[in-house]
Amino acid sequence: MSSQMSFWDSFLRLGGATLIGAAIGLNRDLHGKSIGVRTLGLVGLASAIAAVAVTSGSTAGDFDRASRVMQGVLTGVGFLGAGVIVRGGNHIRGLTSAACTWVTACLGFVCGLAAWPVVAVGAVLVFALLIFGGPLERRGHAVLTLLGAPQEDGSDRDHDGPGGGRSAPG
C-alpha cells in the first residue's frame, strides 16, 4: 500500500462504509428500533476511518497494528451496542439492533481495508438475515405448532420484533 492514499480511494472506502451502515440503520429504523440511519452510518464511518488511519502507509505485512485497532473498535462498539439492549421483566429487547451495531463496525472496518469481496458478501448476508430471518422464524414456529411440538409462548424470542426479546435467566 502506498503511503499516500488517493482522494477517490479514501472516498470509496469511507463512503462505502457510511452507506452500508446507513442502509442497515434504515432497516432498523423502518422496524421502529431506537437505532437508525445516522447512528449506524456513523459506526460504519468511524470504523472505516480507524482502518484507513492505521493502514495508510503500512506495509502489506503489518497486520498487528490493524488487529489491535480492530480490537479497540469492537470493544468500543460493544458499549454502544449494549446501550440498545433493554431488559424489561423477563424480556430482553434490542439484541438484533446490538448485533447490527457490531456487524456495521466490522463491515466499516473491512471497507477501510478495501477488502471489497468480503464487504459485498457480508452486506448481502446481513440484509438476507434482516429481511428473511423474521419471516423464517415465524414460519418455523407455525410448522412446530402444526406438528404439536411444545414451544415457548413466543414472547421471549431472540429478536427485536413484536413481543420479542430473549428471556433473562432466573
Q: Please give the mean pLDDT across all residues of the chain.
A: 84
* Residue 66 confidence (pLDDT): 82
Confidence (pTM) = 0.77
Residue 150: phi, psi to the nearest 5? -65, 140
Residue-wise pLDDT tens digits, 23-59: 999 999 999 888 899 999 999 999 999 988 888 766 6
What domain range is 48 assigned to? 7-162
Q: Which residue has the higher pLDDT, 43 or 160?
A: 43
* Residue 156 confidence (pLDDT): 45
Dihedral sign for Cα 145, 85, 98, 22, please: positive
Q: What percent of the chain has pLDDT over 70?
A: 82
Residue 142 lies in a domain: yes
Residue 63 lies in a domain: yes
- Give rounded-to-5 percent helix, strand, coil for the chain: 65, 5, 30
Residue 1 lies in a domain: no
Domain count, the chain: 1
SS3 category, 56: coil
What are 86's strand-pairing partners? Answer: 93
Query: Closest by alpha carbon to 160, among 84, 76, 82, 106?
Result: 84
Q: b/e map of 104-125 (b: 16 or more CB within 10 Å)? A: bbbbbbbbbbbeeeebeebbee
Q: What is the DSSP letter of 163?
A: T
Residue-wise pLDDT tens digits, 57-81: 666 556 788 888 889 998 989 888 8
Q: Are 40 and 106 spatial neighbours (Cβ–Cβ below 8 Å)?
A: no
* Residue 131 pLDDT level (bands cut at 50, 70, 90): very high
| pLDDT higher than threshold 80 for residue 162 | no
Residue 118 lies in a domain: yes
What are 21's strand-pairing partners? Answer: none
Residue 15 lies in a domain: yes
The amino acid that residue 40 corresponds to is L
Residue 81 lies in a domain: yes
Query: Closest by alpha carbon to 20, among 129, 80, 132, 100?
Result: 100
